[in-house]
Chains A and B, each alone.
Chain A
Amino acid sequence: MIEAIGLTKRYGAKTAVDGVSFTVAPGKVTGFLGPNGAGKSTTMRMVVGLDRPTGGTVTVNGRPYAQHRSPLREVGALLDAKAVHTGRSAYNHLLAMAATHGVATSRVTEVIEMTGLEPVARKRVGGFSLGMGQRLGIASALLGDPRTLILDEPVNGLDPEGVLWVRNLVRYLAGEGRTVFLSSHLMSEMALTADHIIVIGRGRIIADAPVSDIVGRASGTTVRVRSPHATRLVELLSGPGITVTSSEPSSLEITGTTAQAIGETAASAQLVLHELTPVVSSLEDAYMSLTQDSVEYHSTTTGLHPHHLGAHAATTTPEGLAR
């Protein structure tokens, strides 16, 4: 259980995390989403006391992390795959980490086997690939058999097999009743892994809800219509709260009304429809629409004309920003 209340972090004049409050509950996987620079990593670092909050508090299982007698038993954190001395072997790194808490050497061997590091365990970390470094970070996080896991971008640099492994691992750990808090910019991955999602943008919480709610919130509001009488249909439908975008002359994306209403309007005017589809947005779309305003660094999308900038074109903007 992680509880943050009014957590704030400022670096000089820049506010990285702006009074966020949230709870990460045990027994499920909680995803932490947001564009780059939104404050995800800073928030996670404050949970384990690496960054000092400018304001607010955060506790793990009822206490600030540093006040626990056995910190590595409480929280296993992967905050940065590069938090390892490059001149030391993976085995010695884990051995030193384990020694601080009197964790048995057999456990070191165990996490090495679990994360598939045996072939490289005696090699110096400096030569590791991103994926190997990530596996070592996960091994370190699991070392103390912690009740809470905090994983910042755990699948970053992993091959498809590794991604699947992390997904199964966190689902399994949450199933055991542990608290799992992970960030990822891979939305499709999050849809498969997380039960609950906290969305952060520009240091503030934008959404904090079960995955199904987040998808539902952005679904069913857009209807795709194809009709040879598109222009006539737009005239009939125009009204307050209804917006129509068009990517080609006969195709419309209508928001603010329902498929039922559009169908009835078309029928009464005897207009032919070739398509009438409520657009069920994916988690990806939901995330994009939530964070659209909070992307800190907008990339300019060149080569696209404004009338082509439908919902799909808009998704390229934060995608391009993703690490």
Chain B
Amino acid sequence: MSTTTLSPTGSPAGPAVDPTADDVRLTFGRVVASEWIKFRSLRSTVWTLGITFVLMVGSSLLMAAGTVGTDGGIGLPGASIITFGYYFGQLAMAVLAVLVISGEYGTGMIRSTFAAVPTRLPALAAKAIVLAVTAFVVSMVSILVSWLVTYRMLEPLGLAADLTDPETIRVVLGAGLYITAIALFAFALGALLRHTAAALATVFGLLLVVETVFMALPQAFFRNVSPFLPGTAGQRVMLPEEVLEMTDPGAIGPVLGPWEGYAVLVAWVVVLLATAAVLLRRRDA
């Protein structure tokens, strides 16, 4: 601490903020800008997004390489090969999504956030927007890069995805939308639980354990509930027609269309975010 430059005669107010200026005030756009600064100025953001990209592109490359070795492919359409990395991508993105909010609770930053935005909801909404846009852009970029780097391998097999085909567009866009919704789902849980480990355990436990077990159990109850769980329902939007036609006839429980399934996931997100919003207003920071 070498310099302490305040002289009692110099104005601590300074010229930068004019007391009569009307433009220094809280607006939603500015809260979004603030959340963007916070988002990009943490190493955890760079790391998780980088890992998401590497995992998504890497998985597609491996899948494409594996397909090349087989005769005529392994029955997976090109759109599914380039979106194959979604599974790891959603997990890395969920970590980032939880950290966006639980990291503030863990460090105490949330008190600075709420002191600056005392109505609180704009801060929550701004975080959700920054996260959703980033999740969508990064997952779409990862998928398009996957398409580029696997094109030469898949083209000779006739498996290169035609990005002008409506069905392929649905699958590719669906993968980006699915990861985005899962990110918001994890974010809402982070806001509800306010604790990184608790929120991550819940998200991973649900996506990796609960949904898998529900899908496997034969009882009618599990068969009827399983299609409506967030991951299982949401993933339908990115399953190609071939896969749906293959799996659906054997289904015992309800069968949701691709967009119906996605709507169910969105409903989960909306309910959780609304609950988080209500509690955010009520709780002490």
The chain A residues found within 8 Å of chain B, CB to CB, are 45, 48-52, 65-66, 68-73, 75, 77, 79-80, 82-89, 92-93, 95-97, 99-104, 106-107, 110, 113-114, 116, 118-119, 131-132, 135, 140, 142, 144-145, 159, 161-162, 165, 168-169, 171-173, 176
The contact of A142 among B8, B12, B37, B119, by CB within 8 Å, is: B12
Which B residues lie at the A interface, using CB under 8 A? 1-6, 8, 12-14, 16-17, 19, 23-27, 30-31, 33-35, 37-38, 41-44, 103-104, 107-112, 114-119, 282, 284-285
* Residues on A with beta carbons closer than 8 Å to the beta carbon of B2: 116, 119
- CB–CB B116/A101 < 8 A: yes
Instruction: Give A140 to B35 CA distance when docked, in angstroms.
Output: 16
B1, B24, B104, B118: the one within 8 Å of A66 (CB): B118
Q: Does B111 lie within 8 Å of A99, measured CB to CB?
A: no
Per the bound structure, the CA–CA distance linking A14 and B46 in Å amounts to: 44
Complex-state Cα separation, A48 to B284, whole angstroms: 11
Query: Known interface pairs A52-B284, A113-B5, A161-B1. Does A70 touch B26 (Cβ–Cβ under 8 Å)?
Result: yes
4 smallest beta-carbon distances between A and B, as pairs: A66-B118, A107-B16, A99-B34, A92-B41
> Once the chains are docked, how many angstroms separate the CA of A86 from the CA of B87?
31
Contact B16 A104 (CB under 8 A): yes
Chain A residues near B33 (CB-CB < 8 A)? 99
B104 touches A110 (CB 8 A): no
**CB < 8 Å neighbour of B24 from A48, A50, A70:** A70
CB distance from A111 to the nearest CB of B (A): 8
Which residues of chain A have C-beta atoms less than 8 A from B284's C-beta? 45, 50-52
B13 and A145 contacting across the interface, CB-CB below 8 Å = yes
A59 to chain B, nearest CB (A): 13
Query: A72 with B114: in contact, given A95-B37, A100-B26, A142-B12 (CB under 8 Å)?
Result: no
Assess whether B111 is in contact with A50, with CB atoms less than 8 Å apart: yes
Contacts of A82 in B (CB 8 A): 107-108
Residues of B contacting A104 with CB < 8 Å? 16-17
User: B14 near A110 (CB under 8 angstroms)?
Assistant: yes
Q: Tell me whether A49 and B19 are in contact in the complex, defined as CB-CB below 8 angstroms, given that A100-B26, A103-B24, A161-B4 are known contacts.
A: no
Known: A85-B104, A95-B37, A169-B12. 20 other contacts (CB 8 A): A71-B116, A72-B115, A73-B17, A77-B115, A79-B115, A82-B107, A83-B111, A92-B37, A96-B34, A96-B37, A96-B38, A100-B26, A103-B16, A110-B14, A116-B4, A116-B5, A140-B112, A144-B17, A168-B6, A176-B13
